[in-house]
């Protein structure tokens, strides 16, 4: 399934730390999750790709099993297809660009792990609050 001109559904069925669990997820992806992933791509990821070129999705949609293995929160936006962790990029530059230019729900820079987490709000929760943070060695700070 194509989400935008540069992103497809299979790119979000990944996990850098748990690839075998990620490979089993395709049957779990329903229309709501696919719609959320498309909105994430339209709103954030495609504009980033257009600005910075290719970026690597380290973690996208997570099944219950994958989310537990990744030690994700039970309310993780990854579970709804509303979040992605991005690597292979200049995380400071990308984080700053997201904050200044894009309509995000949450953006977290992880300097010690060298990735950026970004999300859009779920339709069900519709929380329009923008949250920008830095998490260094497990300590979250609002920026």
Pair 58, 86: CB distance under 8 Å: yes
The rounded Cα 69 to chain-centroid distance in angstroms is 17
Q: Is 110 helix (H, G, I), strand (E, B) or coil?
A: strand
| Residue 43 and residue 102 in contact, taking contact as beta carbons nearer than 8 Å | yes
Distances from the Cα of 108 to the Cα of 20, 38, 59, 93, 118, angstroms: 26, 20, 14, 13, 7
Alpha helices per DSSP H over 5-135: 19-23, 31-40, 46-52, 64-69, 91-101
pLDDT digits (tens, 9 = 90+) for 24-62: 887 678 889 999 999 999 999 999 999 999 999 999 999
CATH topology of domain 2-142: Muramoyl-pentapeptide Carboxypeptidase; domain 2 (3.30.1380)
Report yes or no on whether pTM surpasses 0.85. yes
Signed CA dihedral, 65, 36, 57, 130: sign only: negative
- Measured CA to CA, the distance from residue 98 to residue 143 in angstroms comes to 13
pLDDT in tens, 63-87: 999 999 999 999 999 999 999 999 9
pLDDT surpassing 80 at residue 125:
no
Query: Is residue 124 a contact partner of residue 101, using CB atoms and an 8 Å limit?
Result: no
Return the domain boundaries, the chain.
Answer: 2-142
Cβ–Cβ < 8 Å for 112, 81: no
């Amino acid at each position: 399934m194509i989400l935008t001109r540069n992103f497809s559904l299979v790119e979000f069925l990944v996990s850098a730390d748990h690839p075998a669990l990620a490979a089993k997820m395709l049957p779990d992806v329903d229309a709501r999750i696919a719609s959320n992933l498309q909105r994430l791509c339209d709103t954030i990821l495609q504009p980033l790709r257009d600005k910075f070129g290719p970026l690597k999705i380290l973690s996208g949609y997570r099944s219950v099993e994958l989310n537990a293995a990744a030690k994700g929160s039970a309310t993780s936006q990854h579970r709804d297809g509303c979040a992605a962790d991005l690597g292979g990029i200049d995380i400071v530059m990308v984080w700053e660009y997201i904050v200044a230019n894009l309509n995000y729900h949450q953006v977290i820079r992880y300097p010690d792990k060298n990735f950026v987490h970004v999300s859009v709000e779920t339709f069900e929760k519709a929380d329009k609050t923008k949250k920008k943070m830095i998490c260094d060695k497990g300590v979250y700070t609002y920026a």
